[in-house]
A and B are shown apart, each in its own frame.
Chain A
Amino acid sequence: MATLTTPVPTPTPTKAAVRPLRRTPSPGRIAAWAVMAAIVLVTLLPFYWILRTALSTNAGLAADPTNPLPVHPTTGGFERALGLQSTEEAIAQGGAGGGLDFWRYLLNSVVVSTLITGCQIFFSAMAAYAFARLRWRGRDTVFGLFLAGLMVPAIFTLLPNFVLIKQLGLVDNLLGIALPTMFMTPFAVFFLRQFFMNIPREVEEAALLDGAGKVRVFFRVLLPMASTPVLTLAILTYITAWNDYFWPLMVSYSDSSRVLTVALAIFRAQTPQTGVDWSGLMAATLIAALPMLVLFGCFARRIVSSVGFTGIK
């Protein structure tokens, strides 16, 4: 770019002269910041409103709907959502007394999401390795077939999959919820294959020369090297599994297999005579949302940067 004859320091003063000019806040920049501030507000205020409502009493909410702080601060909403109140107590405070136990649903959600994430990524990584590094007949054909699976919207397979799960006798069972996405998704295989293909062959060849078998090379060398993309994929898979509603709605019927999203919708549908139990409902919503917010708190940077390269294939 810069030729050797050009004196190096010349560009610096020009830049310094431009800088302060650009930094003087023009009306356009102020307007742009105002828009940005409004966006942040609309994005975050609902989260505060969940908390504020969850900590209020239903009577307080009705009496003072615009108060920015919790009205008559209480933990009653959380007690109702976690099934810690007796039916009479719950009804007295504006609940339905329907006996929902969000501890249980929380546990169910954790089991389902963990099962899906762990198995899906492990099996997808094995397949991805076979597609990227092993030689076998029909490899490219099979991979092409997997990729074609990306074209089928997930929603299309839900009805027939429900019929299958019912035939397998796994309706109302956590395994039935996890099963369809437990083995692979075309995207996970594609994403990990891409990573394995970018690892220099020399890395595994060195290990192979040392006498290690290919299975050992995969588990001891390549898989540990892939820990970053695997973790990214795991977080995204976990979020997707946690937030899924349509499929669990079809499969789970009772407390034993009810996950948070389904339980929340049921809570919302129970309307006591006094009107919706907003305090309890928002407490339950917070319980459902909190684990994802914590996850986001821990891995924000990774999640944010993953959107760019996972979204556009």
Chain B
Amino acid sequence: MTVASTSPPLRRPRGDGALAALFVAPAMLGFLVFLLWPTLRGVYLSFTRFNLLTPAEWVGLDNYVRMVNDPIFWDSLTVTVEYVAINIGVQTVSALAIAVLLQRLTQSAVLRGIVLTPYLMSNVVAGIVWLWILDTQLGIGNEIVAGLGFDRIPFLADETWAIPTIAVINVWRHVGYTALLIFAGLQAIPNDMYEAAKVDGASEWRMFRRITMPLLRPVLAVVLIMTVIGSFQVFDTVAVTTAGGPANATNVLQFYIYGSAFGRFQFGYASAMSVALLIVLSAITFLQYRLTRAGHTDLG
């Protein structure tokens, strides 16, 4: 809506300085102490050696030099990118499909509620439930695999399977939420367009390609930025299912950062890796924004 500065000027000439200070004070305190200060401090700590017990000691770029030469860091970055690629790939396609089904097939609010249900669970709950379902010996998922005549798959205990499995578990939790975001975007497309296309004899697939996709592009761009940023921060599911294993195969960046800080008490090094992640996320946001805004639609 309207921006603050365009509200009618001088209707009430007296300022509310004192009252405003009182009203903003608690939020301001929280902002300064728990958001701005830690952000600056996080950057500062990345240039120090710090183990929590003795004061932080300035070491310049040492942590960054170490990071660049740390094979485990690069490994964990690779694993994270692999996770994000699978997670976002599967999730975006499924969410788009669900959203289109919800729009074109039925407008049922009950179905929308059902697909959102897993989102109400924590990542920890989702991780543990699927750990059980996919258990090699007793899990119903592997019973089905065996029932179909295949060998049992150690989904979370195998180096190749673990990352795709975690990626898909997190799709289970988040796909409904993502689908509803896209669904909200679809609601903005006038129904007349589909009616007109139908009169012209267009198939559902053709309507999807010619109407839905082009008009949905800006919404998809925003959804992608949001989900990619969230996806890069994966931690909970890894922590409860594989704890980074087997053999570092699921040692995603956030898990490595946590281990460096709380396992080895290298808060400086952990902070440097956090800064690296922050830079990667900012770069992705910027790039995606540039790329996807290139094809703007008229609908808005």
Partner of A304, one of B7, B36, B45, B180: B180
Q: Does B83 contact A (CB under 8 A)?
A: no
Given contact pairs A29-B105, A163-B267, A43 touches B114 in the complex (Cβ within 8 A): yes
- When C-beta atoms are compared, the residue in chain A nearest to B42 turns out to be A160
Partner of B138, one of A62, A166, A289, A309: A62
> How far apart sit A32 and B140, CA to CA, in the bound complex (Å)?
26
Contact between B26 and A308, CB atoms less than 8 A apart: no
With both chains docked as a complex, state the minimum distance between the C-beta of B89 and any C-beta of chain A, in angstroms: 18
**Segment at the interface with B among A79-87, A95-103, A128-136, A225-233:** A128-136
The residues of B that contact A47 with a CB separation of less than 8 Å are: 117
Contact between B105 and A304, CB atoms less than 8 A apart: no
Partner of A308, one of B183, B233, B239: B183
> How far apart sit A225 and B185, CA to CA, in the bound complex (Å)?
28
> How far apart sit A228 and B1, CA to CA, in the bound complex (Å)?
19
- Count chain A CB atoms within 10 A of each CB in B17, B109, B128, B233 and give the residue with the most: B128
Q: Does A106 contact B (CB under 8 A)?
A: no
Given contact pairs A65-B143, A164-B33, A135 touches B128 in the complex (Cβ within 8 A): no
Q: Does A127 contact B (CB under 8 A)?
A: yes
Contact between A66 and B140, CB atoms less than 8 A apart: yes
Q: Does A169 contact B (CB under 8 A)?
A: no
The residues of A that contact B16 with a CB separation of less than 8 Å are: 130, 134-136, 214
Q: Does B118 contact A (CB under 8 A)?
A: yes
- When C-beta atoms are compared, the residue in chain A nearest to B184 turns out to be A308
Q: Does A112 contact B (CB under 8 A)?
A: no
Q: Does A4 contact B (CB under 8 A)?
A: no
Contact between A157 and B23, CB atoms less than 8 A apart: no
Q: Does B211 contact A (CB under 8 A)?
A: no
Contact between B30 and A183, CB atoms less than 8 A apart: yes
Q: Does B129 contact A (CB under 8 A)?
A: yes
- Count chain A CB atoms within 10 A of each CB in B33, B122, B140, B278 and give the residue with the most: B122
In this complex, the interface size class of chain A, counting residues with CB under 8 Å from chain B, is 35 or more
Given contact pairs A66-B140, A265-B240, A311-B184, A157 touches B42 in the complex (Cβ within 8 A): yes
Partner of A49, one of B106, B133, B274: B133
Contact between A239 and B120, CB atoms less than 8 A apart: yes
Contact between A159 and B274, CB atoms less than 8 A apart: yes
Q: Does A126 contact B (CB under 8 A)?
A: yes
Q: Does A177 contact B (CB under 8 A)?
A: no
Contact between B226 and A159, CB atoms less than 8 A apart: no
Contact between B45 and A152, CB atoms less than 8 A apart: no
Q: Mark A117-142, 1 if CB is under 8 A from B, else 0.
A: 00000011011011110111101101
- When C-beta atoms are compared, the residue in chain A nearest to B129 turns out to be A46
Given contact pairs A65-B140, A265-B239, A43 touches B28 in the complex (Cβ within 8 A): no
Contact between A43 and B105, CB atoms less than 8 A apart: no
With both chains docked as a complex, state the minimum distance between the C-beta of B66 and any C-beta of chain A, in angstroms: 17
The residues of A that contact B219 with a CB separation of less than 8 Å are: 312
Q: Mark B5-21, 1 if CB is under 8 A from A, else 0.
A: 10100011001110111
Contact between B116 and A304, CB atoms less than 8 A apart: yes
Contact between B24 and A127, CB atoms less than 8 A apart: yes
The residues of B that contact A142 with a CB separation of less than 8 Å are: 24, 28
Contact between A123 and B27, CB atoms less than 8 A apart: yes
Contact between B124 and A245, CB atoms less than 8 A apart: yes
Q: Does A107 contact B (CB under 8 A)?
A: no
Q: Does B289 contact A (CB under 8 A)?
A: no
> How far apart sit A184 and B24, CA to CA, in the bound complex (Å)?
10
- When C-beta atoms are compared, the residue in chain B nearest to A128 turns out to be B27
> How far apart sit A214 and B213, CA to CA, in the bound complex (Å)?
48
- Count chain A CB atoms within 10 A of each CB in B24, B183, B235 and give the residue with the most: B24
Which A residues have a C-beta under 8 Å from some C-beta of B?
A: 28-29, 32-33, 35-36, 39-40, 42-44, 46-47, 49-50, 53, 61-62, 65-66, 123-124, 126-127, 129-132, 134-137, 139-140, 142-143, 145-146, 149, 151-153, 155-157, 159-164, 166, 179-184, 186, 189, 194, 197-198, 201, 214-215, 218, 239, 242-246, 249-250, 260-261, 264-265, 268, 275-276, 278, 281-282, 285, 288-289, 292-293, 295-296, 300-301, 303-304, 307-309, 311-312
Known: A278-B138, A292-B121, A312-B223. 8 other contacts (CB 8 A): A40-B111, A47-B117, A65-B139, A143-B4, A163-B52, A183-B27, A183-B34, A288-B124
Task: Give 20 CB contacts A-B under 8 Å.
Answer: A33-B105, A46-B133, A50-B129, A149-B35, A153-B229, A156-B38, A157-B42, A163-B45, A184-B27, A197-B4, A214-B16, A249-B239, A261-B125, A282-B132, A288-B125, A293-B120, A296-B117, A304-B112, A307-B177, A308-B180
Which B residues have a C-beta under 8 Å from some C-beta of A?
A: 1-2, 4-5, 7, 11-12, 15-17, 19-21, 23-24, 26-31, 33-39, 41-42, 45, 52, 97-98, 101, 104-106, 109, 111-118, 120-125, 128-133, 135, 137-140, 143, 147, 172, 176-177, 180-181, 183-185, 187, 204, 219, 222-223, 226, 229, 233, 235-236, 239-240, 254, 257-258, 261-262, 267, 270-271, 274, 277-278, 281-282
